[in-house]
Amino acid sequence: MAKDSPRQLGDHDLIDRIAQEKDRLFKLRFQLATGQLENHARVTTTKRDIARLMTELRAREIAAAEAAAGGEA
């Protein structure tokens, strides 16, 4: 499964991707708790993917706020 760079995704796609990754993390944690998870590194990888996506979303929010503030001045 090829993953797009967060910078290449649109805003709605980025939000959808965050929701998907959070759902995946929930399922992985459930598998971990029940002893069904074989690759424990997937939990860490998924957490990092979520962090990358959320960082890009926050950067866009900051850029939009700065653009709005710049337009008012």
* pLDDT tens track for 48-64: 999 999 999 999 999 99
Domain total in the chain: 1
pLDDT at 9 (0 to 100): 85
**Is 65 part of a structural domain of the chain?**
yes
Stretch 40-53: mean pLDDT = 97
pLDDT at 43 (0 to 100): 97
**CA 10 – CA 14 distance, rounded (Å):** 6
User: Would you say the pTM of this structure is higher than 0.75?
Assistant: yes
**Is 2 part of a structural domain of the chain?**
no
Question: What counts of helices (H) and strands (E) characterise the chain?
Answer: 2, 0
Calculate the CA 52 to chain-centre distance: 6
**Is 36 part of a structural domain of the chain?**
yes
What is the signed CA dihedral for 53, 21, 37, 3, rounded to 10 degrees?
A: -70
Residue 1 — very low, low, confident or very high, per pLDDT cuts 50/70/90?
Answer: very low
